[in-house]
Amino acid sequence: MPFRRLILLCSLFLLLAQPAAEVRAELVVVVNARCGVAAMTRNEVINIFFGRNHQYFNRVEAQPVDLPDAHPDRKRFYSMLVGKDLSEVNAYWSRQVFSGRMQPPVKVNSADEVLKWVVSHPGGIGFVDLAKADARVRVVYELTP
């Protein structure tokens, strides 16, 4: 009997000693709830965030907002959306700006500021953790790893 308890205790200890799996919130793309867009495809999201499309299907002007490089969600967003790291994304925007073609999305410092931007602009679009999305915005695309 003591041997079984020892094995049980060792097993329990090993189970508890394992590092907890990193919990990551799901990133979602959100738009202003009143803009008339209910869902978007991956390509539509890419085209707006990379400046290829400036309007939604209903001709409302899309106004994307981004986070700074230092924000961990920005790295995850572009990695999951297009499989690129931030240096590649920044190089793309540097070429666009240098050629005079277009400007990158406005950047704000936090997810709360992303939500404020999206809510205060009729065509606002941004990305946040799913847990942050509320009734003021509509989730139009879910990013999956």
From the list 136, 115, 134, the residue with the least C-alpha distance to 34 is: 136
- Which residues lie closer than 8 Å to 68 by C-beta, 6 or more apart? 74, 107, 109
Structural domain count of the chain = 1
Would the CA dihedral through 125, 32, 122, 72 be positive or negative?
Answer: negative
Residue 97: other Cβ atoms inside 10 A: 12
pTM of the model: 0.81
Q: Is residue 73 part of a domain?
A: yes
Q: Is residue 3 part of a domain?
A: no
Q: What is the pLDDT of residue 22?
A: 41
Domain boundaries, position 53: 23-142
Q: Is residue 115 part of a domain?
A: yes
User: Which tokens go with 20?
Assistant: 């907890």
Q: Tell me the CATH number at 34.
A: 3.40.190.10
Q: Is residue 11 part of a domain?
A: no
Q: Is residue 117 part of a domain?
A: yes
pLDDT digits (tens, 9 = 90+) for 44-94: 999 999 999 999 999 999 999 999 999 999 999 999 999 999 999 999 999
Q: Residue written as tokens 């400036």?
A: 54
